Chain A
Amino acid sequence: EVQLVESGGGLVQPGGSLRLSCAASGFTFSSYWMHWVRQAPGKGLVWVSCINSDTRSINYADSVKGRFTISRDNAKNTLYLQMNSLRVEDTAVYYCVREFNKGAYWGQGTLVTVSS
């Protein structure tokens, strides 16, 4: 069974940093593109970033470019999102998602709250 379990969310002050992790199991992690998608409270889904299987291709939404860094450790079956210079508008549930074009699997999400 495919499982994606996010962790690392929490409360952080504006300007602070946080690192999210996504532990994957039940499939060959190293074979898939992985994405981060976020959802602010009461709002819609927003694509954040993606990384291909061998980390050679990485992409970001304009809203996070230069502040967020996606990475993966295929030996540990784990996806990461390093978030720096956090803003109030980054407050959201962050979902880890396995490859859109192969019938995406979604984690349960982890809540990031940016507030003073």
Chain B
Amino acid sequence: QTVVTQEPSFSVSPGGTVTLTCGLTSGSVSTSNYPNWYQQTPGQPPRTLIYSTNTRSSGVPDRFSGSILGNKAALTITGAQADDESDYYCVLFMGSGIWVFGGGTKLTVL
């Protein structure tokens, strides 16, 4: 069974740039997987950042961007701010109507 992989944790300095990735244990991620990215803080529902690989959701600042890097989907945060400290999840379309979330990345800004 294919699993969606994310870095368990990542750290970035304020003002810095960080790229989080979303991969597959078997195969490559492509635009056909329609990667979506979500941000979640404790006790809150997820907030949509990026959908269909690189489309920014309404109201999301342009320092968040999505792409395909190599064989993975990627979320890049440019100019990290303190309130970017959150959990970040990707979800991929696996075909046959099935979606699978990655395990999430806990981002620390310090």
Contacts and interface: CB of A to CB of B under 8 A. Distances in A.
Contacts, number: 61
From DSSP, what is the main secondary structure of chain B's interface residues?
Answer: strand
B74 to A, nearest CB: 18
Given A100-B36, A101-B51, A101-B52, A47 B45 contact: no
Which of the four size classes fits the interface of chain A?
A: 20 to 34
Interface stretch (B62-70, B76-84, B98-106): B98-106
Contacts of B104: 44-45
B48 A105 contact: yes
Contacts of B97: 50, 57-59
Contact of A100 (B58, B87, B99): B99
Interface of A: 35, 37, 44-47, 50, 57-59, 61, 95, 100-109
Contacts of B93: 100-101
